[in-house]
Chains A and B, each alone.
Chain A
Amino acid sequence: MLRALWTSASGMTAQQTNLDVISHNIANVNTVGFKRSRANFEDLIYQDIRDPGVLSSTQNRVPAGIQIGLGVKLADVAKIFLQGSLIKTDNPLDVAIQGEGFFKIEMPDGSESFTRAGNFKIDNEGYVVTTEGYRLSPNIQISAPETVINISISPNGKVVVVRNSGGQQTTEEVGNIKLYRFMNPAGLKAIGENLFKYTEASGEPIEGDPNTDGFGKLSQGFLEASNVNIVEEMVNLIVAQRAYEVNSKGIITADEMLRTVSTLKS
């Protein structure tokens, strides 16, 4: 049968994946700390069709080979870790990273994961946790939360609480927020809930203090918005859908040509 059928089919499959990626981005346009993805494609192998001994009209032999490509494949879906805009929330436990770096989160199974979503809470034991209840690592525990009147987080990660015990105001340093960065953040694996795991491709996490050595600084009372640009995604959506349609036309053409062949002999 015709190669064109499978070539067009590979094009349709690729555009379908592209649509999946784009709609995931659009769905997360308001997700705190979300990083958009982009599907990248590569061409498939080429079939070399040589016609040995062919003479051109000038009686010379044809030097160049003949190649027919067999379609397209998905190369990767890369995360784009571009800074999202900051939204002011005035919540003392909302922390945005301005610049590079991730928060480290302790998972219930003891493994580590990383996030840019800084909408933290305090759990019943006084630990700083994510919305899902996973603890920030290194752990920060605020004891006797009922006496706390203010929490301040400095741009370099120092967490200080102000307590009011018996009319006396005291300040207490409860810990430091550390940041982690990766050689190749695009190689991180998203596991949902705004969390990422490191992989072979991303490299091991590199620890550091915020606002030093190229790490981003922390902004208390802010959240980092999703870096999805809705206009751009809409344009991508249109491109993907039209490309899908045109590929389907390739299949229709091949099919109709096959029908012509089959009706050749009455």
Chain B
Amino acid sequence: MAVNFQPIYILASGGERVLEQLDITTNNISNANTTGFKKVLMREMSQKIPENLPPASDLFVFPRFMDSPTLNIQGSSIKTDNPLDVAIEGDGFFTVETGRGRLYTRNGHFNISSDGFLVTSSGGYLLDENGKRIKLNQNGRIDITREGFIYQNGQQIGRLRIVNLQNLSHVGDSYYTGQESPAGNYRIHQGYLENSNVEIVKEMVNLINSHRRFDIYMNLAKSLDMLEGKVNDIGKA
């Protein structure tokens, strides 16, 4: 047969990749204002189907989804003047004890729980250097230094536990997981929050890219279909 069916499947799987790319782009866009959000990239790869190996003319390579790394670069800072809003400049994540185990966040929008602990907005407990929850006093001004030490009324309460993460992945609710490694290069800014690192221009370009890429694949699929139609017509009266 002159026309092979395989290309149309390759185009279809290319189309699927575009849809995944669209999903990731729209997720980045919808989190363009989410405190401490780190944007997600999509990496694709080509994959040979082993059954297709020889002869060389049948060598088809499928586009596959390889992985979705999180781009851990600094977001811009927004001034909120709230004493319990904290931004990290540089490396590192805050360590949080949640109902789902130990998780990490860059979202420094903290609260005091009714029993006096420093918590995230979803109620997870912030941990100090020794892995203990941070208990604050009944009242008094809270100061957080550049190094992450928390002072209340001039008394040291503890130091925020800041760690670096390898193999970062998103959990949702502004949390991340990954493998801990010590963080050295960071500064804490009280009264600021770190904005999402999503660049809206790049995401718009991705959106346009996905759209056009999809159109090209689908047009090619259509042309292939027409070609097949013509082949079928050969020999007809």
Contact = CB atoms under 8 A, between A and B. Distances in A.
B111 A184 contact: yes
10 contacts: A14-B30, A43-B37, A69-B27, A70-B27, A75-B174, A76-B109, A186-B84, A246-B32, A250-B26, A257-B18
Contacts of A187: 111-112, 114
B204 to A, nearest CB: 6
Given A75-B174, A201-B113, A68 B23 contact: yes
B215 to A, nearest CB: 6
A239 B68 CA distance: 27
Nearest to A58: B45
A51 interface: yes
B31 A250 contact: no
A71 interface: yes
Residue from B20, B33, B64, B171 with most neighbouring chain A CB atoms (10 Å): B33
Contacts of A7: 23, 26-27, 30
Interface stretch (B126-134, B137-145, B157-165, B180-188): B137-145
Interface of A: 2-4, 7-8, 10-12, 14-15, 18, 38, 40-46, 49, 51, 54-57, 62, 64-72, 75-76, 78, 80, 82, 100, 181, 183-184, 186-187, 200-203, 206, 213-214, 239-240, 242-243, 246-247, 249-250, 253-254, 256-257, 260-261, 264
Given A82-B81, A183-B116, A214-B141, A67 B211 contact: no
A242 B67 CA distance: 30
Chain B residues touching A, majority SS: mixed
A15 B211 CA distance: 24
Interface string B209-224: 0110011001001100
A117 B207 CA distance: 48
A161 B215 CA distance: 81
Residue from B37, B84, B167, B172 with most neighbouring chain A CB atoms (10 Å): B172
Contacts of A15: 33
A67 B23 contact: no
A54 B82 contact: no
A11 B203 contact: no
Given A40-B109, A183-B112, A246-B204, A10 B170 contact: no
A38 B80 contact: yes
A18 B78 CA distance: 15
A69 B40 contact: yes
Given A4-B26, A38-B80, A68 B68 contact: yes
Interface in B77-92: 80-82, 84
B179 to A, nearest CB: 12
A2 B40 contact: no
A11 B24 contact: no
Residue from B18, B27, B45, B65 with most neighbouring chain A CB atoms (10 Å): B27
Contact of A239 (B33, B174, B218): B33
Contacts, number: 209
Chain A residues touching B, majority SS: mixed
B216 to A, nearest CB: 10
B59 interface: no
Given A11-B31, A69-B40, 14 more contacts: A4-B25, A54-B64, A64-B167, A66-B66, A67-B170, A68-B23, A68-B24, A75-B109, A78-B82, A183-B136, A186-B82, A243-B33, A257-B211, A261-B218
B35 A41 contact: yes
Given A42-B173, A46-B170, A72 B31 contact: yes
B115 to A, nearest CB: 8
Given A43-B170, A200-B114, A243-B33, A78 B109 contact: yes
B121 interface: yes
B230 to A, nearest CB: 14
Contacts of A40: 35, 107, 109, 121
Interface in B18-61: 18-20, 22-35, 37, 40, 45-48
B65 A66 contact: yes
A64 B45 CA distance: 13
Contacts of B112: 183-184, 187, 203
Nearest to B215: A260
Contacts of B81: 80, 82
A43 to B, nearest CB: 5
Interface string B85-104: 00000000000000000000
Given A15-B33, A249-B207, A257-B22, A201 B172 contact: no
